Chains A and B, each alone.
Chain A
Amino acid sequence: MSGYGRTEPVVSVENLHKVYKSKRTPFGRPVSVKALKGISLKVYPGEIVGIVGESGSGKTTLAKIIAGIESPTKGRIFVKKPIQMVFQDPFSSLNPRMKVKDIVVEPVEATRKIQKHQRFKLATELLKKVGLDEDALEKYPHEFSGGQRQRIAIARAISIDPQVLILDEPTSSLDVFVQAQIINLLLEIHKRTEAAYLFITHNIPLVINFAHRLVVMKDGEIVEEGNAWETYNTPKHPYTENLISSVPSKIFSLIG
């Protein structure tokens, strides 16, 4: 990406390795899984990077290490803070015992002390940014639909103006209309904040419409990366080719 090459990256990882030693299962011997095998990746300010690849290829592991939720077995990481992550499942990613007004300001409170009236104002503003009404403030997560919860998770993530926002399949549990709303919301926020996005997904037709770059992972390695649109149309690695040919594409010729 020559356009981004001149600035300093906001994420830079080099030769990342992650080995999970799984606990003994009731059925078999403990095994260790090499989830990442030497990943190097740079992400530049304002860049949207789509990460695709089959299930188990290491996408979430990479995301968690970059977000600081997990530590690598080996390798170097540089991340410009603040960084935030939005998870796939809006039902388990929010604390069920906390009210929305407390959930959305939590990352801010972790960094600095805020006063009660500021807190309320901040929470209201955040909800407004993601298109939720003020009456959501006093409610608990279970009182919301999947799409609304994902909005709450996004409000929380943008509360500290992250330099880097990691989105791990943020719409895959949502219906198409809600998906379209959430994607447009994320793109609008991107325009405003210029945060870098790492967007993990199985929905290739979706992500290539807004990602600048596509990163293709398989078995803990990056097998191909490049301009999103070009990689989709002219994949170079046989694995990428196979992945893209698995996209259900009959529909495109029908609805043309």
Chain B
Amino acid sequence: MLLSLEDLKISFRVNGGITKEALRGVSFSVFEGEIYCLLGESGSGKSVLLKSILGLLPPNAEVSGRVIFDGKNLLELSQKELSRFRGSRISMIFQEPMTALNPTMKVGEQVAEVLRFHFGLSTKEAEKKVVALLAELGIPEPEHRYHQYPHNFSGGMRQRIVIAMAVVANPELILADEPTTALDVTVQSQILHLLKVLVARRGASMIFVTHDFSVVAEIGDRVGVMYRGVLVEEGRVEEVLRFPKHPYTKALIEAIPVPGRPLVSFSVPKENVPTEGCPYVVRCPVKIGKCFESMPDFVYVDSTHRVRCFNIDNFS
């Protein structure tokens, strides 16, 4: 096990002394060499979860639980100690490539800086390594491209630079936050392929955050489905897609556009999360009495497939 989250809770202090719960006690593990997809609608807590791993949450966030990596609880480390992990052992790829890049600095130098910071390589050594990496990432004329600025690149090429920054130090864990959402299908398909190959070649692990089940099917080994700050189902990607057990997962799959299948409309109420009870109870078509009273525990469908639901027997 490379990383494990234990009962991670995150809330934000907002105006007027109110706190807003973003994660309601999430636990899962990521194994060596796997791609773990975290799937959920916007606002379900995916980005907040990733940011908490690297200590990137804003000051109004309150975090409890444990994030264990290499035997250490990352939540207890100082920013200074964390900065030694960031980029070198754990790295992050953000959704919008432009926010991760400095517009006034040559792209090659931005990638090389990671190497110089963590390993103290000389400028020459770093450049050589970076040029080889840019070539590996399918960037044509890497020696020439090294010296260009972000605005000289298309969206897809920029995302490759961001990926280069994330993998150049050979991290054990890559956190990817919707890295292809801003890209068109052609480029998305190239980037997904690239990430898969890179992770496999380096034996790294990745948490891949997305709201798109079709992307999960392309890239994931396992998937965790989040609903309003709660992990509601987890299992191997094929298993979950073929035999979804949670009513929410099932609805998500039915809403995927498939050629030749008419789209089903679902009602989307905007009621607030009930503080006790199942987070899905407002929308759930198969709820029973106790769903309102307490949060369901995980039920294991088999050793790798678990579901937080009181009523899975009546829903298949």
Contact = CB atoms under 8 A, between A and B. Distances in A.
A56 B154 contact: yes
Contact of B268 (A147, A229, A242): A147
Nearest to B218: A248
Interface residues of B, number: 44
A255 B253 contact: yes
Contact of B217 (A202, A243, A248): A248
A55 B183 contact: yes
B255 A179 contact: yes
Contacts, number: 107
A181 B267 CA distance: 8
A175 B42 contact: yes
Contacts of B184: 54-55, 202
Contacts of A147: 268
A120 interface: no
Interface in A156-200: 175-181, 183-184
A209 B255 CA distance: 13
A180 B265 CA distance: 5
Given A55-B155, A180-B263, A248 B186 contact: no
Contacts of A249: 214
A25 B151 contact: yes
Contact of B187 (A27, A54, A254): A54
A19 interface: no
A229 B258 CA distance: 12
A254 B257 CA distance: 14
Given A25-B151, A175-B42, A246-B185, A251 B217 contact: yes
Contacts of A180: 255, 263-266
A28 to B, nearest CB: 8
Please classify the interface of chain A as helix (H, G, I), strand (E, B), loop, or mixed, using the class held by over half of its residues: helix
Contacts of A209: 257, 259-263
B241 A204 contact: no
Nearest to A188: B265
Interface in B121-172: 149, 151-152, 154-155
Interface string B266-302: 1010100000000000000000000000000000000
Contacts of B188: 246, 248
A140 interface: no
B183 A251 contact: no
A250 to B, nearest CB: 4
B56 interface: no
Contacts of A243: 185-186
Q: Which of A54, A147, A251 has the most CB of B within 10 A?
A: A251
A203 B258 CA distance: 10
Interface in B207-237: 211-218
Interface string A36-64: 00000000000000000011100000000
A1 interface: no
Nearest to A250: B217
Given A54-B184, A246-B188, A176 B258 contact: no
Given A180-B263, A205-B258, A229-B259, 4 more contacts: A27-B151, A205-B257, A250-B217, A251-B256
Interface of A: 25, 27-28, 54-56, 145-147, 175-181, 183-184, 202-206, 208-209, 229, 232, 242-243, 246-252, 254-255
- 10 closest Cβ pairs, A-B complex: A206-B257, A251-B217, A246-B189, A176-B255, A248-B214, A254-B241, A55-B184, A250-B217, A175-B41, A251-B214
